[in-house]
Amino acid sequence: MSGARAPPLGALIRLLPLPRCACPDTETSGLIGSPPAGNSPGMSQENAEVVRQMLDAFNRDHAAKVVGFFAEDCELHEPPEMVDSAGGFRGHDGIRAWMANLRAVVGVRFEPVSLTGRGDLIVAELAAHGRGEASGVPFAWTTFAAVRLRDARIVRVQAFLPQEEALHAAGWIAQQPPPGSAGRAPAR
């Protein structure tokens, strides 16, 4: 044995190739108020540009520029499967820590596949890719982020691996009742 330590679970999860999720069929999925795919007419083009420019700054490793796209009271939550970031990241110091974690550990890059939104809320489909730090093995996955903006600054990001979870977070899919609760009125 060479004495090498095993990487943390979160790092291993990031290296797994994950399947892409297809957008649910609007006729059968319970979508409510869902904007059309792609760049939506109801989406603020200014907000879409903020998201695009933030991703470009991230990919260029410009931490100060990335932080500048976020409000001081911002929150960023990675997918729940990323156990090493439980609790999320808050404020500008949190954004710096998030960026350093992703860029230094796995050299990840995010490429926008689509931005869909309405007003101050955007759901971004992002293709993520990079190379494992220790192994050099290339990896890729798709993530979906519900991004809320205020005054052209990002105030909250909730990232998910399944697209449906990002659409739920955006309020564009009706919440499904728990199993066995069909037909019951909500508790008061």
Please list the pLDDT of the chain residue by residue as tens digits (188 residues): 444 433 333 333 333 333 333 333 322 233 333 443 444 445 688 999 999 999 999 999 999 999 999 999 999 999 888 766 677 999 999 999 999 888 766 778 999 999 998 889 999 999 999 887 788 888 899 999 999 999 999 999 999 999 998 888 888 875 554 444 344 344 43
Question: So what's the pLDDT on residue 157?
Answer: 97
Question: So what's the pLDDT on residue 174?
Answer: 59
Question: So what's the pLDDT on residue 175?
Answer: 54
With vertex at residue 46, the alpha carbon angle to CA 173 and CA 118, rounded to the nearest 5 degrees, is: 20
- The arrangement of strands across the sheet holding 70-77 comes to 89-90, 70-77, 153-160, 138-150, 121-131, 109-118
Regarding beta strands 153-160 and 70-77, do their DSSP bridges make them parallel or antiparallel, or are they unpaired? parallel
Rg (CA), the chain: 18
Domain residue ranges of the chain, discontinuous segments joined by +: 40-170
Question: So what's the pLDDT on residue 42?
Answer: 55
Question: So what's the pLDDT on residue 105?
Answer: 67
Question: What is the rounded CA–CA span in Å between residue 70 and residue 50?
Answer: 9
Question: So what's the pLDDT on residue 104?
Answer: 67
Structural tokens at position 168: 């739920």
Question: So what's the pLDDT on residue 16?
Answer: 34
Pick the CATH number of 40-170 from 3.30.1330.60, 3.40.50.620, 3.40.50.300, 3.10.450.50: 3.10.450.50
